[in-house]
Amino acid sequence: MQFHKYDVVIIGAGGAGMRAAIESGQRARTAVLTKLYPTRSHTGAAQGGMCAALANVEEDNWEWHTFDTIKGGDYLVDQDAAEIMAKEAIDAVLDLEKMGLPFNRTPEGKIDQRRFGGHTRNHGEAAVRRACYAADRTGHMILQTLYQNCVKHGIEFFNEFYVLDICLTETENGPVCTGAVAYELATGEIHVFQAKSVVFATGGFGKVFKTTSNAHTLTGDGMGIVFRKGLPLEDMEFYQFHPTGLAGLGILLTEGARGEGAILRNASGERFMERYAPTIKDLAPRDIVARSMALEVLEGRGAGPNKDYVLLDCTHLGAEVLETKLPDITEFARTYLAVDPVHEPVPVYPTAHYAMGGIPTNIHGEVLRDNDNVVPGLYAAGECACVSVHGANRLGTNSLLDINVFGRRAGIAAAEYALSRESHVDLPENPAAAVEAQVALALSEHGQERVADIRTELQATMDANASVYRTEDTLKQALHDVQALKDRYAHISVQDKGKRFNTDLLEAVELGFLLELAEVLVVGALARKESRGGHAREDYPNRDDTNFMRHSMFYKQGEGLSADIRLDYKPVTFTRYKPMERKY
Amino acid sequence: MTATAETTAGSRGSQPPVPDGAVTVTVKIRRFNPEVDDEPRWDSFDIPALPSDRVLNLLHHIKWYVDGTLTFRRSCAHGICGSDAMRINGVNRLACKVLLKDLLLKGDKQTTITIEPIKGLPVNKDLLVDMEPFFEAFRAVKPYLVTYGNEPTRERIQSVADRERFDDTTKCILCACCTTSCPVYWTEGSYFGPAAIVNAHRFIFDSRDEGAEERLDILNDIDGVWRCRTTFNCTDACPRGIQVTKAIQEVKRALLFKRV
């Protein structure tokens, strides 16, 4: 066991983690622990843009952006947080430009902006050009730019350090976060990092689904660790399905394609979004477009030999727009489906994309331990966190915005908190004991279940029973399946017993997090007997503000993987926007 | 090459159902785990796969159902994160961007694919190499915007043409396909290598940047751009289609003629 001492420890090196590190690293002694090399993080897969009301190409203001975000989130958004995000968006984009991000430019040399789903002029009148972008590589450019600036500022990284636990020390005022415990992939050694503050920025858990835009490594580790500590997770039933995944593969094709004018068509060539969202059509928010696509297929209007997808038609955009503004997705379609978007429409179907829920935080990134109190020293930002700026459905581009605005805020808050403490709070006794036991158990001989089998079955049941449309029956089936898989997980076999880069062990540990988070998602979806944003219940098709205008809060009860889940609720923060029916 | 014994590895239990239209692929993988092996060896796996499968799918099949000790990096699985660079049939590729159908001759029902770790970096285990020397070279070229004086309140103005000037080199995902395909890098590990020069180029030709002189001084070093022998392996290897050799030539020219 090795021991380290820092002011701030940041877990995760995607957009949120590195944005936090740039702030924290310049103020306090900071270490970034990351399961992957920083430039491998999935922020790099984001494509279309990052919205901010710069008004570089047409009239816009941050209040409209706030409204769109709240309406897009089906009024489950905490309005104070949305206001902060939309207001700080402008500086967030300008900061990135000053760090060197190569945005596309207008003829005047300003940052160019494009249309995106759900972003409108004057409270829904028409689509507005708000998304700042770099071709269809905006996430790649953000990830690279942030890493470049981490290099510039000499940020200290511990690459391929897989954090498996955090240290909470009980004090008379409740638990305080005092560090993190990591497994070093290269050596199998356990490292304890004592810190005054810890920031989670570990991303999402899309790998609970089979068809997903998410990376293999997005297994909800941070959320899982927090949940196992008895701390709450918020709004986990709200999971976003991005409308345009490459059919059968789930690889993301940016909404920016539709922002540039691409059109969704069914088998007969009809522009079906005109029926579902007459005003902004193909640029309706993702939940609405994904449901519309699923309905087209369910009602027999899907394209292809099995009528199981719809078509994204970019052919009228012309080769130049595709090659200059959408080059990567053009290449994805060519490489993976052998379809050339210049000449033929691309088969697409919704793909599991983004967790609206996560570790509840306030607007400073401080992690909540219940509805009213924070855990001093513990912070979270990005997809693993729930501020909540996305409510029941995130608008496109708002995730890149979220990581920059709240990553920055969490980094500053964590550093300032650390600097305000004279000394480190003592670690709990034997801080590494739980992780050592967990690793030893996984490596011991106790069964013949294969990790891949359990993961495949988990993903199959989640795709079949807990995706775009849900019912009581499908969700009960999913819950039954997940619980049975959790029982089998107790008998997994890890074949690689070595200490050196044991990725077999890593996958086994990741599966434990996936199972737990899948169960939370399903329990939340069962309990929420309404349809709101990304959560669509066929048996409860309407939004029910009387009973469900509130955040879900999930607490783990007891020890072990098969412990129960307690569901509580938290009020939504309103400022100036009253819930209305959501029409586009 | 020092590989010796050829073994066909066992299985981790019953195999998943073979999909319709599958062909049999013999995947030959160069294995090395310093924890147990004295030297590298070749393992061979016969597995069913669809022509639409990526090479990464084949590796996953082996790891998940045959030999859990097989070790490689991967994350996004669609050519964006740069984790899974490896030598596939003798050329550097991302395993998630090579489809089996592109390795099959027409009508083939059977084929052999050879997979080795990228060359020039120490092998840590199987297909997983030590990336530190690679990132060290990257960090050494000041791969970030260098500016002096006061920052503007709004964004810096940059014309569409000026932005276009360095567009190609902004695409780099630091996968190391280029650097580890370079014969000079194989023999002279001290050479910065193509990827570092690509990332220097990305800033040298950015109209907003004021650090070109510093970077050119670094690249004028004995281990800098002059080591390049324009073999074009790097350009062939780049999964992002960057004109790597051209970028290196542009940096050389900047040193010779006008210092940008």
Q: Which residues of A touch B31 (CB under 8 A)?
A: none
Domain ranges for chain A: 245-350, 433-538
Q: Which of A100, A104, A450 sits opposite B12 (nearest CB)?
A: A450
Query: Do the Cβ atoms of A97 and B156 come within 8 Å?
Result: yes
Query: Do the Cβ atoms of B36 and A498 come within 8 Å?
Result: yes
Average pLDDT over residues B182-186: 97
Query: Do the Cβ atoms of A40 and B36 come within 8 Å?
Result: no
CATH 3.40.630.10 is the classification of domain A245-350: no
Confidence category of residue B6, pLDDT binned at 50, 70, 90: very low
Size of interface A-B (CB pairs under 8 A): 146
pLDDT digits (tens, 9 = 90+) for B150-159: 899 999 999 9
Average pLDDT over residues A279-285: 96
Query: Do the Cβ atoms of B76 and A134 come within 8 Å?
Result: no
Q: For testing the chain A interface, which of B144, B156, B167 should be mutated: the one with the most A CBs within 10 Å?
A: B144
Q: Which residues of A touch B156 (CB under 8 A)?
A: 97-98
Residue B11 has a pLDDT of 67
Q: Directed axis angle between helix B132-140 and helix B194-204, to 10°?
A: 30
For residue B131, pLDDT over 50 is answered with yes
Average pLDDT over residues A83-93: 98
Q: Which residues of B touch A109 (CB under 8 A)?
A: 157-160, 162
pLDDT digits (tens, 9 = 90+) for A142-197: 999 999 999 999 999 999 999 999 999 999 999 999 999 999 999 999 999 999 99
Q: Which of A37, A186, A504 sits opposite B69 (nearest CB)?
A: A504
Task: Report which residue type is found at A302.
Answer: G
Q: Is A430 left (phi over 0), alpha (psi -120 to 50) or beta?
A: left
* B85 close to B118: Cβ distance less than 8 angstroms: yes
Whole-number average pLDDT of chain B: 93
Average pLDDT over residues A363-374: 98
Residue B123, H or E segment: strand B123-125
Confidence category of residue A110, pLDDT binned at 50, 70, 90: very high
C-alpha distances (whole Å) from B168 to each of A104, A135, A324, B18, B77 are 13, 12, 11, 42, 22
Q: Which residues of A touch B33 (CB under 8 A)?
A: 498, 500
pLDDT digits (tens, 9 = 90+) for A382-414: 999 999 999 999 999 999 999 999 999 999 999
**Cα within 13 Å of Cα(A418), Cβ side:** 32
Whole-number average pLDDT of chain A: 97
Q: Which of B72, B78, B154 sits opposite A94 (nearest CB)?
A: B154
Residue B10 has a pLDDT of 55
Residue B107 has a pLDDT of 75
Residue B7 has a pLDDT of 45
Q: Which residues of A touch B80 (CB under 8 A)?
A: 44-45, 140, 328
Residue A413 has a pLDDT of 98
Is A221 labeled as ligand-binding? Answer: yes
Question: Which pTM does this prediction carry?
Answer: 0.97
For residue A505, pLDDT over 80 is answered with yes
Residues making up chain B, counted from first to last: 260
Query: Do the Cβ atoms of A504 and B139 come within 8 Å?
Result: no
| Among A210-219, A291-300, B100-109, the least confident range | B100-109
Residue B2 has a pLDDT of 40
Confidence category of residue B109, pLDDT binned at 50, 70, 90: confident
Sorted by where each starts, the structural domains of chain B and their CATH numbers stand as 6-125 (3.10.20.30), 131-258 (1.10.1060.10)
Query: Do the Cβ atoms of B157 and A108 come within 8 Å?
Result: yes
Q: Which CATH number fits domain A433-538: 1.20.58.100, 3.40.50.1820, 1.20.810.10, 3.30.310.50?
A: 1.20.58.100
Q: For testing the chain B interface, which of A18, A37, A43, A158 should be mutated: the one with the most B CBs within 10 Å?
A: A37
Residue B5 has a pLDDT of 40
pLDDT digits (tens, 9 = 90+) for A401-452: 999 999 999 999 999 999 999 999 999 999 999 999 999 999 998 899 999 9
Task: Report which residue type is found at A323.
Answer: E
Is A48 labeled as ligand-binding? Answer: yes
Residue B4 has a pLDDT of 40
* B141 close to B215: Cβ distance less than 8 angstroms: yes
Q: Give burial (CB, 10 Å; 0-12/13-18/19+) of A330.
A: buried
For residue A270, pLDDT over 80 is answered with yes
Which residues of A carry out catalysis? 286
B149 or A73: which carries more pLDDT confidence?
A73
pLDDT digits (tens, 9 = 90+) for B24-57: 999 999 999 999 999 999 999 999 999 999 999 9
- In B, minimum Cα distance to A105 occurs at B160
